[in-house]
């Protein structure tokens, strides 16, 4: 091998070395930040999401239309008949208790989010895997006299479950990802005081590094329970 | 002479080339952008929840259609409208937990453990706490329970609170000491599995040394919610708008 060849070889090896180190560096940064992927898939997903949202809009409009038709029939009937009018009022009352009515009132909004990833901590804190904390928040709010509750706009009704399922928490069997926004209607000062109590639920959550914010609002709007609830096993006991 | 003439030409050409390369790079960049996996996962989560909601809405539209056709067939007959309203009221009462209900289900008995403590062990390990009861109840909801009571107190997730109160537990503002008897109406096999299956909270409690027993029952009764539900702050959104 001539001296000239060796110099060439040295040059090629150096270039190769630089390539390798750059490649390693790129892969390393991708790995620590969760990896990169072409945005083609994301575009596809966002199109799908848009379609779903449009479908949801149409369906919601259908529901509203049928509701309007139904109440129009009942309205005309109730103008002639007092019994129907009273029954409708009673139905409204029980619908409210059951959570089948959109409601508003003063109350608080609590939002709970995962802490940003921190290199100083090896373990991951994720509210998804600590659903008991959400149960405690709901319990605390119930104890403080909350009159209506919702997590991420899923109305809490008598049989609602809060459960980790995969990478999300199922609420009314709808998967919900963090952040969790809990809305509660009731005396806003009582509710706020109950969750912000010393060593209370907010400080427990903050101790675990979750990002929690509590806001007192004069008007909180909570949507109705948006599904059909069928109780197949529990039959009403005949009172007579 | 030739060299002296060409250098400004080359300079201009090089600048143009540089600009073109930069423009080309910029144009291409929008096409081959890369996104972090995290963002993809977030999108996936949103997609899943939207899909589930669309499914629910489809069911509701179906139900409303049926209801509308039914009422429309009455042709303004008051008697039939009254009947349908009464039916709906009864259904809402049942769903909201204001009535006594009966059916098949399970009875879960939970008591403090009786095993000897290990050296320096915290006695709290074998004592039942409010959070234990809450999580077991949540397990039962998740398994599709229709109605649940603790020591005879109907549990409604949107109203009831379960609290640790020293040696006793407060349910719906009434005090109970152990043993805690949870009744749940629903599919017996599912409910039994919701306590006994590995990974379920009931099973975990048992491993801590707390006494947990499940029995299925073909028939039992669960009382309705005793308290009065009175709303002070809640307003009906539909009515609020109308006023």
CB atoms B47 and A34 under 8 Å: no
**Count of H-run helices and E-run strands, chain A:** 6, 10
Chain B residues in contact with A76 (beta carbon < 8 A): 76
In the structure encoding, which two tokens stand for residue B144, read together? Answer: 């599709």
Query: Is A161 an interface residue toward B (CB < 8 Å)?
Result: yes
Across chain A, mean pLDDT equals 84
Together in a domain, A122 and A202: yes
pLDDT value at position A13?
Answer: 94
Residue A234 within a domain: no
Q: Which fold has domain B101-222?
A: Alpha-Beta Plaits (3.30.70)
* Mean pLDDT of the region B43-63: 85
**What percent of chain A is predicted at pLDDT more than 90?**
12
In the structure encoding, which two tokens stand for residue A180, read together? Answer: 């969790």
pLDDT value at position B184?
Answer: 92
Q: Are A214 and A195 in contact (CB under 8 A)?
A: yes
Residue A168 within a domain: yes
Query: Is B138 an interface residue toward A (CB < 8 Å)?
Result: yes
Q: Are B187 and B145 in contact (CB under 8 A)?
A: no
| pLDDT surpassing 90 at residue B98 | no
Query: Is B118 an interface residue toward A (CB < 8 Å)?
Result: no
Q: Give A81-87 contacts, CB < 8 A, sequence gap 24+.
A: A81/B78, A81/B82, A83/B78, A83/B82, A84/B78, A84/B81, A84/B82, A84/B85, A87/B82, A87/B85, A87/B86, A87/B89
Chain A (34-73) residues lying within 8 Å, Cβ to Cβ, of chain B: 34-39, 41-42, 45-46, 48-49, 52-53, 55-56, 59-60, 62-63, 66-67, 69-70, 73
pLDDT value at position A34?
Answer: 56
Residue in B37, B40, B72, B92 to test binding to A, most A beta-carbons within 10 Å: B92
* Mean pLDDT of the region A124-133: 83
* Mean pLDDT of the region B71-87: 77
Chain B residues in contact with A162 (beta carbon < 8 A): 138
* B202 vs B208: CA distance, rounded Å: 10
Query: Is B197 an interface residue toward A (CB < 8 Å)?
Result: no
Of the pLDDT bands very low, low, confident and very high (cuts 50, 70, 90), residue B241 is very low
pLDDT value at position A121?
Answer: 62
CB atoms B86 and A55 under 8 Å: no
CB atoms A162 and B138 under 8 Å: yes
H or E element at residue B217: strand B211-222
pLDDT digits (tens, 9 = 90+) for B167-177: 788 888 888 88
Query: Is B194 an interface residue toward A (CB < 8 Å)?
Result: no
Pick B109 or A84 by higher pLDDT. B109
| pLDDT surpassing 50 at residue B104 | yes
How many structural domains comprise chain A? 2
Nearest beta carbon to residue A90 from set B78, B89, B134: B89
Residue A23 within a domain: no
Chain A residues in contact with B236 (beta carbon < 8 A): 92, 96, 101-103
**What percent of chain A is predicted at pLDDT more than 70?**
91
Together in a domain, A90 and A147: no
pLDDT value at position B113?
Answer: 80
CB atoms B48 and A161 under 8 Å: no
Query: Is A113 an interface residue toward B (CB < 8 Å)?
Result: no
Q: Are B50 and A53 in contact (CB under 8 A)?
A: yes
By C-alpha distance, the chain A residue nearest B230 is A147
Of the pLDDT bands very low, low, confident and very high (cuts 50, 70, 90), residue B19 is very high
pLDDT value at position A123?
Answer: 65
Residue A33 within a domain: no
**What percent of chain B is predicted at pLDDT more than 70?**
91
| pLDDT surpassing 70 at residue B149 | yes
Together in a domain, A53 and A135: no
Pick B147 or B160 by higher pLDDT. B147
| pLDDT surpassing 80 at residue B78 | no
pLDDT value at position A108?
Answer: 92
Of the pLDDT bands very low, low, confident and very high (cuts 50, 70, 90), residue B242 is very low
Nearest beta carbon to residue A63 from set B33, B57, B102: B57
In terms of Cα–Cα distance, which of B131, B138, B120, B119 is closest to B210? B131
What is the CB neighbour count within 10 angstroms for residue A154?
A: 23
- E strands, chain A, are 36-38, 103-113, 148-151, 154-155, 162-165, 168-171, 174-176, 180-185, 211-222, 235-236
CA distance, residue A6 to nearest chain B CA (Å): 33
CA distance, residue B116 to nearest chain A CA (Å): 28
Domain with A120, as residue range(s), is 103-222
Whether ipTM tops 0.95, in short, is no
Of the pLDDT bands very low, low, confident and very high (cuts 50, 70, 90), residue B185 is very high
| pLDDT surpassing 50 at residue B243 | no
Of the pLDDT bands very low, low, confident and very high (cuts 50, 70, 90), residue B51 is confident
* DSSP secondary structure, B73-123, as one string: HHTT-HHHHHHHHHHHHHHHHHHHT-S-EEEEEEEEEEE---SPPPTT--G
pLDDT value at position A12?
Answer: 92
Residue A107 within a domain: yes
Together in a domain, A114 and A183: yes
DSSP type of residue A91? H
Residue A205 within a domain: yes
Domain ranges of chain B: 37-96, 101-222
Query: Is B40 an interface residue toward A (CB < 8 Å)?
Result: yes
Which CATH number covers residue A166? 3.30.70.1880
pLDDT value at position A46?
Answer: 84
* Helices A40-80/A82-98 angle, 10° precision: 150
Together in a domain, A80 and A126: no
CB atoms A55 and B48 under 8 Å: no
Chain B residues in contact with A228 (beta carbon < 8 A): 56, 59-60, 63
| pLDDT surpassing 80 at residue B15 | yes
The residue behind tokens 């997903």 is A45
| pLDDT surpassing 60 at residue B52 | yes
Residue A19 within a domain: no
Of the pLDDT bands very low, low, confident and very high (cuts 50, 70, 90), residue A109 is very high
Q: Are B240 and B130 in contact (CB under 8 A)?
A: no
| pLDDT surpassing 70 at residue A122 | no
pLDDT digits (tens, 9 = 90+) for B113-144: 887 777 777 777 788 888 888 888 888 888 88
H or E element at residue B220: strand B211-222
Task: Among A70, A98, A126, identify where a domain stops.
Answer: A98
Together in a domain, A48 and A126: no
CB atoms A175 and B92 under 8 Å: no
**Count of H-run helices and E-run strands, chain B:** 7, 10
Q: Are A70 and B66 in contact (CB under 8 A)?
A: no
Chain B residues in contact with A33 (beta carbon < 8 A): 36, 38
* Mean pLDDT of the region B140-162: 86
pLDDT digits (tens, 9 = 90+) for A62-75: 888 888 888 888 77
Distance from chain centroid for Cα A55? 20
* Mean pLDDT of the region B55-64: 86
Of the pLDDT bands very low, low, confident and very high (cuts 50, 70, 90), residue B92 is confident
Pick B142 or A27 by higher pLDDT. B142
């Amino acid at each position: 091998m001539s001296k000239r060849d060796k110099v060439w070889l040295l040059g090629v090896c150096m270039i190769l070395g630089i390539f390798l180190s750059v490649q390693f560096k790129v892969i390393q940064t991708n790995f620590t930040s969760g990896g990169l992927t072409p945005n083609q898939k994301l575009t596809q997903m966002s199109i799908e999401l848009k379609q779903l949202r449009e479908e949801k809009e149409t369906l919601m409009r259908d529901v509203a239309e049928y509701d309007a038709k139904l109440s129009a029939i009942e309205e005309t009937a109730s103008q002639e008949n007092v019994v129907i009018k009273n029954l409708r009022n009673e139905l409204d009352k029980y619908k409210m208790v059951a959570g089948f009515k959109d409601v508003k009132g003063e109350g608080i909004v609590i939002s709970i989010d995962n802490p940003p990833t921190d290199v100083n901590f090896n373990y991951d804190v994720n509210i998804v895997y600590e659903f008991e904390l959400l149960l405690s928040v709901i319990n605390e709010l119930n104890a403080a006299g909350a009159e209506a509750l919702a997590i991420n706009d899923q109305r809490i009704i008598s049989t609602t479950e809060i459960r980790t399922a995969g990478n999300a928490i199922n609420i009314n069997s709808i998967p919900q990802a963090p952040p969790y926004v809990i809305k509660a209607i009731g005396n806003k000062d009582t509710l706020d005081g109950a969750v912000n109590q010393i060593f209370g639920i907010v400080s427990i959550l903050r101790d675990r590094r979750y990002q929690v914010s509590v806001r007192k609002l004069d008007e909180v709007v909570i949507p109705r329970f948006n599904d059909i609830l069928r109780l197949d096993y529990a039959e009403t006991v005949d009172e007579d | 002479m030739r060299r002296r003439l060409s250098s400004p030409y080359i300079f201009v050409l090089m600048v143009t080339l540089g600009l073109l390369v930069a423009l080309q790079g910029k144009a291409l960049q929008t096409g081959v952008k890369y996104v972090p996996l995290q963002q993809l996962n977030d999108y996936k989560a949103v997609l899943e929840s939207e899909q589930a909601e669309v499914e629910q809405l489809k069911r509701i539209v179906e139900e409303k259609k049926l209801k509308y056709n039914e009422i429309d067939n009455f042709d303004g007959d008051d008697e039939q409208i009254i009947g349908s309203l009464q039916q709906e009221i009864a259904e809402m009462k049942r769903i909201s937990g204001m009535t006594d209900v009966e059916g098949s289900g399970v009875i879960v008995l939970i008591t403090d453990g009786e095993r000897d403590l290990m050296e320096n062990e915290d006695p709290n390990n074998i004592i039942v706490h409010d959070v234990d009861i809450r999580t077991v109840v949540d397990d039962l909801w998740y398994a599709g329970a229709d109605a649940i009571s603790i020591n005879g107190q109907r549990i409604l997730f949107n109203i009831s609170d379960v609290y640790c109160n020293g040696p006793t537990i407060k349910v719906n503002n009434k005090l109970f000491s152990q043993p805690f008897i949870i009744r749940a109406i629903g599919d017996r096999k599912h409910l039994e599995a919701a306590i006994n299956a590995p990974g379920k909270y009931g099973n975990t409690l048992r491993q801590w040394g707390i006494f947990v027993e499940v029995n299925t029952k073909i028939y039992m009764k669960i009382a309705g919610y005793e308290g009065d539900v009175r709303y002070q702050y809640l307003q009906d959104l539909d009515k609020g708008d109308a006023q």
